[in-house]
Structure 1
Amino acid sequence: MRYLKYVTSLVVALLAFSFVSAQEAGIRFFKGTFAEALAEAQRQNKPLFVDFYATWCVPCKKMEKTIFTQPEVGKFFNEKFVNLQMDAEAPENVEIAKKYKVEAFPTLGIIAPDGKAIQINVGFMKAEELLEMGKTAIGEVKGFEELYKEHRAQPNDLKIQQELLTIAPRFLTTQDGMDAEKWVVRVRKLYKDYLAKKMADNSLINKKDYLIISNLGGDDADEVARVVEYINSNLDAWIAAVGEPAAYYVIEKNDERMLDLVKKGDESYKTYLEKIRTDYKKAYDVIKFKTVTPYQKSVDYYGALFAIYKNKDVPQYIKLMSSYLNGLGEDANAADYGIAAQSLYNAAGKKLTAADHKQAIAWLQKAIPNETTLMNKINFLVMVGDSYRELKDYKQAREYYNQAYGESLQMGAAEQAQQMIQASVVYKLSTLELLEK
Structure 2
Amino acid sequence: MKRWLYGTLPLLILCLSSCSQVDPPATAGIEFFHGTFEEALQQAEEEEKLVFVDVYTTWCGPCKVMSETVFPDQDVGEYFNAKFISFKLDAEDVSIEGPRISNTYDVGAYPTLLFLNPDGSEIGRGVSGYDKAGLLNLVEDVLSEQSKQTELLVELATRYEGGERDKEFVQEYLSVASLVGSKIVDSQSRFEHSQKYGPVFAEYIETHSSDVAMLTNEKDFQLIRSYATNRPKSHPAVALVVENFDRFAEEVPEFALCYFVVTANYYTVVSLASAGDLSYLEHIALLDTELAHAHSVMAAEDPSNAILKDQLLPRARTEYLIGTNDWDGYYAEVLERVEEAEDQADKSRIMSRAASRLMYSGEDLYVEKGEEFATKAYQHDKTEPMNVLNYSSVLMKSGQLEAAIAVCEEMLVTLDPSSPHYNFRDALEASIARIKAMMDEKLDEETDSEESNTET
Q: Which amino acid aligns with 1:246?
A: L
Matched residues in 2 for 1:247 and 1:138: separation? 34
**1:171–1:309 distance in 2 versus 1, CA, 3 Å:** same
**1:335–1:184 distance in 2 versus 1, CA, 3 Å:** same
Tell me how far 1:271 sits from its aligned partner: 4.0
Indicate conservation of the 8 Å contact 1:263/1:309, yes or no: yes
RMSD: 5.6
Of 97, 116, 138, the match for 1:68 = 116
Gaps of 5+ in 2: 1-41, 52-101, 418-422, 441-456
**SS at structure 2 position matched to 1:202:** helix
Of 135, 150, 162, the match for 2:171 = 162
Tell me how far 1:147 sits from its aligned partner: 2.7
Indicate conservation of the 8 Å contact 2:232/2:265, yes or no: no
**1:325–1:247 distance in 2 versus 1, CA, 3 Å:** farther
Quick check: 1:382 aligned with 2:389? yes
- Report the equivalent of 1:25: 49
- Report the equivalent of 1:254: 265
Q: Which amino acid aligns with 1:406?
A: E
Whichever structure has more helix as a proportion of its residues is 1
Range with bigger deviation, 255-264 or 235-244: 235-244
Tell me: higher relative CO, structure 1 or 2? Use CA pairs within 8 A at least 6 residues apart. Answer: 2
Indicate conservation of the 8 Å contact 1:309/1:347, yes or no: no
Indicate conservation of the 8 Å contact 2:352/2:373, yes or no: no
Q: How do 1:125-144 and structure 2 match up within 5 A?
A: 126=135, 128-132=137-141, 137=146, 139=148, 143-144=152-153
- Report the equivalent of 1:92: none
**SS at structure 2 position matched to 1:279:** coil
Tell me how far 1:341 sits from its aligned partner: 3.7
Indicate conservation of the 8 Å contact 2:224/2:238, yes or no: no
- Report the equivalent of 1:228: 238
Indicate conservation of the 8 Å contact 1:289/1:328, yes or no: no
- Report the equivalent of 1:307: 321
Indicate conservation of the 8 Å contact 1:382/1:401, yes or no: no
- Report the equivalent of 1:318: 331
Tell me how far 1:171 sits from its aligned partner: 3.9
Indicate conservation of the 8 Å contact 1:401/1:428, yes or no: no
Quick check: 1:283 aligned with 2:283? no
Matched residues in 2 for 1:366 and 1:327: separation? 18
Indicate conservation of the 8 Å contact 1:206/1:242, yes or no: no
Of 142, 146, 150, the match for 2:155 = 146
Quick check: 1:244 aligned with 2:244? no
Tell me how far 1:412 sits from its aligned partner: 8.0
Indicate conservation of the 8 Å contact 1:232/1:283, yes or no: no
Tell me how far 1:297 sits from its aligned partner: 4.1
Deviations 1:109-144 (A, max 9, x none): xxxxxxxxxxxx655885652214555945599711
Tell me how far 1:168 sits from its aligned partner: 0.7
Q: Which amino acid aligns with 2:116?
A: F
The structure whose Rg is larger is: 1
Indicate conservation of the 8 Å contact 1:265/1:306, yes or no: yes
**1:175–1:366 distance in 2 versus 1, CA, 3 Å:** closer
Matched residues in 2 for 1:327 and 1:130: separation? 49
After TM superposition, the score normalised by the length of structure 1 is 0.53
- Report the equivalent of 2:409: 405
Range with bigger deviation, 53-62 or 404-413: 53-62
Matched residues in 1 for 2:265 and 2:370: separation? 30
**1:192–1:382 distance in 2 versus 1, CA, 3 Å:** closer
Gaps of 5+ in 1: 1-17, 28-52, 75-83, 87-106, 109-120, 370-376, 431-437
**1:271–1:336 distance in 2 versus 1, CA, 3 Å:** farther
Identity of aligned residues (%): 13
Matched residues in 2 for 1:149 and 1:232: separation? 34
Tell me how far 1:220 sits from its aligned partner: 8.6
Matched residues in 2 for 1:160 and 1:291: separation? 38
**1:265–1:164 distance in 2 versus 1, CA, 3 Å:** same
Matched residues in 1 for 2:377 and 2:190: separation? 44
Matched residues in 2 for 1:132 and 1:291: separation? 33
Tell me how far 1:317 sits from its aligned partner: 0.9
**SS at structure 2 position matched to 1:143:** helix
Indicate conservation of the 8 Å contact 1:262/1:306, yes or no: yes
Tell me how far 1:310 sits from its aligned partner: 1.5
- Report the equivalent of 1:57: 106
**SS at structure 2 position matched to 1:163:** helix
**1:157–1:323 distance in 2 versus 1, CA, 3 Å:** farther
- Report the equivalent of 1:346: 360
